[in-house]
Structure 1
Amino acid sequence: MSSITLGRYLFERLRQVECFTIFGLPGDFNLRLLDEIYEVEGMRWAGNTNELNAAYAADGYARLKGIACLITTFGVGELSALNGVVGSYAEHVGVLHVVGVPSLASQAKQQLLHHTLGDGDFAVFHRMSANISQTTAMVTDLATAPQEIDRCIRTTYVTQRPVYLGLPANIVNQMVDRRLLDTPIDLSLEPNDEDTEEEVLTQVLALVQKAQNPIILADACCSRHDAKKEAWQLTDATQFPCFVTPMGKGSVPEKHPRFGGVYVGTLSSPDVKSAVEAADLILSLGALLSDFNTGSFSYSYGTRNVVEFHSDHTKVRNAIFPRVGMKFVLQKLIQRIPAAIQHYSPRPVPTRPARNAPTPRDTPLTQEWLWTQIGEFLREGDVVVTETGTSAFGINQTRFPNNTYGISQVLWGSIGFTTGATLGAAMAAEELDKNKRVILFIGDGSLQLTVQEISSMVRWGLRPYLFVPNNDGYTIEKLIHGPTAQYNEIQNWHHLRLLPTFGATDYEAVRVATTGEWDALTNDPAFNRNSRIRLVEVMLEVMDAPSSLVRQAQLTAATNAQN
Structure 2
Amino acid sequence: MASVQNGQVTLGNYLLERLIQLGVKQAFGVPGDFNMPFLDLIEDHPNIGYVGCCNELNAGYAADGYARVTGKVGAVITTFGVGELSATNAIAGAHSERVQVVHIVGVPSTVLQGHQAVLHHTLGDAKFDAFLHIAQHITAATATLFHAETAAAEIDQCLAAMLLKARPCYITIPTDLVNVEISAKSLETPLRPTIDHPSKEPTEAFLVNRIAHLFETAKKPVVLIDACSLRFHVVDIAQKLIEKTGVTFFTSPMGKAALNESHPNFGGIYIGDISMPAVKEAFETADFILAIGTMKSDFNSGSFTWRMPGERTVELHSDHVVFQYGRFEGVTFQTILPLLVEQVTPLKESQKVAVHPWPKYLGTPTGPITQEGLWPLTSTFFKENDIVFAETGTSAFGVLETKLPKGAIFGAQILWGSIGWAGGSILGAAVAAEESVVPRRTILFMGDGSWQLTIQELSTMARYKVKPIIFLLNNDGYTIERFIHGPNRHYNDIQAWKWTSLLDVFGAAEDSYATHQVKTFEELSALMKEPSFAAADKIQFVEIFIGKMDAPRALKLQASLTAKVNA
Give me the TM-score of the superposition, normalised by structure 2: 0.95
1:36 matched residue in structure 2: 41
Match for 1:437: what amino acid? R
Paired position in structure 2 for 1:51: 56
Distance 1:485 1:444 in 2: 17
Partner of 1:394: 398
Matches within 5 A, 1:173-322: 173-186=179-192, 193-301=200-308, 304-322=311-329
Is the 8 Å Cα contact of residues 7 and 36 (structure 1) preserved in structure 2? yes
Does the 8 A contact of 2:216 with 2:345 survive in 1? no
User: Which residue is 2:455 aligned to?
Assistant: 451
Aligned partner of 1:374: which letter? Answer: T
Deviations 1:397-421 (A, max 9, x none): 1011111111001100000000111
SS at match of 1:143: helix
- 1:369 aligns with one of 347, 368, 373: 373
Indicate if the aligned counterparts of 1:22 and 1:44 stay in contact, CA closer than 8 A: yes
Partner of 1:414: 418
- The answer for the alignment partner of 2:136 in structure 1 is 130
Q: Give the secondary structure class of the aligned counterpart of 1:414.
A: coil
Deviation string for 1:288-346 (max 9, x for gaps)?
Answer: 1111111111123467211111112111111111222213311211121117x458532
Matched, 1:90 2:100: no
Q: Are the counterparts in 1 of residues 222 and 289 from structure 2 also a CA contact under 8 Å? A: yes
Alpha-carbon contact 2:321-2:331 (below 8 Å) kept:
yes
* TM-score, structure 1 as length reference: 0.96
**Equivalent residue letter for 2:152:** P
2:528 aligned with 1:522: yes
Q: Give the deviation of 1:559 after TM superposition.
A: 1.1
Per-residue CA shift, 1:131-162, capped at 9, x if unaligned?
A: 11111111111111112222222222332101
- CA–CA separation in structure 2 for the residues paired with 1:515 and 1:318: 51
Partner of residue 441, structure 2? 437
* Aligned equivalent of 2:489: 485
Instruction: Check whether the contact 1:74–1:100 (CA below 8 A) recurs between aligned residues.
Output: yes
Alignment counterpart, residue 353 of structure 2, candidates 343, 347, 350: 347
Q: After superposition, what is the alpha-carbon deviation per residue over 1:374-425, rounded to whole angstroms, capped at 9, x for unaligned?
A: 1111111011101010011111110111111110011000000001110011
Are the structure 2 counterparts of residues 385 and 305 from structure 1 closer, same or farther at C-alpha, using a change threshold of 3 Å?
same
The reply to whether residue 13 of structure 1 matches residue 18 of structure 2 is yes
CA distance in 1, matches of 2:358, 2:391: 25
**What is the percent sequence identity of the aligned residues?**
43
SS of alignment partner, residue 551 of structure 2: coil
Give yes or no for contact 1:192–1:328 (8 Å, CA) kept in 2.
no
The structure 2 residue matched to 1:108, chosen from 95, 108, 114, is: 114
Deviations 1:12-60 (A, max 9, x none): 2211222011111111111111111123212111111111101101110
User: How many Å separate the matches in 1 of 2:73 and 2:199?
Assistant: 23
Corresponding residue for 2:537? 531
Aligned to 1:24: 29
- Alignment match, 1:509: 515
CA contact (8 A) 1:276 1:301 kept: no
Code of the residue aligned with 2:389 in structure 1: it is V
| Mapping for residues 72-87 of structure 1, pairs under 5 Å | 72-87=78-93
* Count of residue pairs the alignment pairs up: 558
CA contact (8 A) 1:280 1:303 kept: no
Cα deviation for residue 188 of structure 1 reads 8.1
| Cα distance between partner residues in 2 of 1:531 and 1:401 | 21
**How far apart, in 1, do the equivalents of 2:379 and 2:310 lie?**
33
5+ long unaligned stretches in structure 2: none
What is the aligned counterpart of 2:383 among 379, 383, 397? 379
CA-to-aligned-CA distance 1:169-208 (integer Å, 9 cap, x gap)? 1111111123443333235878963222112212212222
For the residue of structure 1 that corresponds to 2:104, the secondary structure is strand
Whether contact under 8 Å (1:470, 1:539) holds in the other structure is yes
Residues 500 and 541, structure 2, Cα contact 8 Å, conserved in 1: yes
Contact 1:278 1:302 in 2 (8 A): no
Paired with 1:70 and 1:193, the residues of 2 have a C-alpha distance of 37
1:351–1:46 distance in 2 versus 1, CA, 3 Å: closer
CA deviations over 1:430-460 (Å, ceiling 9, x no partner): 1124721111101000000010011111111
- 1:191-241 CA-partner distances (Å, limit 9, x unpaired): 963222112212212222221111111111111111221222222111111
Q: Deviations over 1:115-145 (max 9, x none)?
A: 1111121111111111111111111111111
RMSD: 1.7
Counterpart-to-counterpart distance in 1, 2:362 and 2:369? 12
Q: CA deviation at 1:249?
A: 0.4
Q: Distance in 1 between matches of 2:94 and 2:294?
A: 16
Are 1:168 and 2:174 an aligned pair? yes
**2:343 maps to which residue?**
336
Q: 2:218 touches 2:351 (CA, 8 Å); kept in 1? A: no
Distance 1:343 1:448, change over 3 A: closer
Q: Name the structure 2 match of 1:147.
A: 153
When residues 445 and 527 of structure 1 are mapped into structure 2, their CA distance, relative to the original with a 3 A threshold, is: same
Question: Is it true that 1:403 corresponds to 2:407 in the alignment?
Answer: yes
State the SS of the aligned residue for 2:410. strand
Alignment deviations for residues 469-491 of structure 1 (CA, whole Å, 9 cap, x no partner): 11000000111111111110000
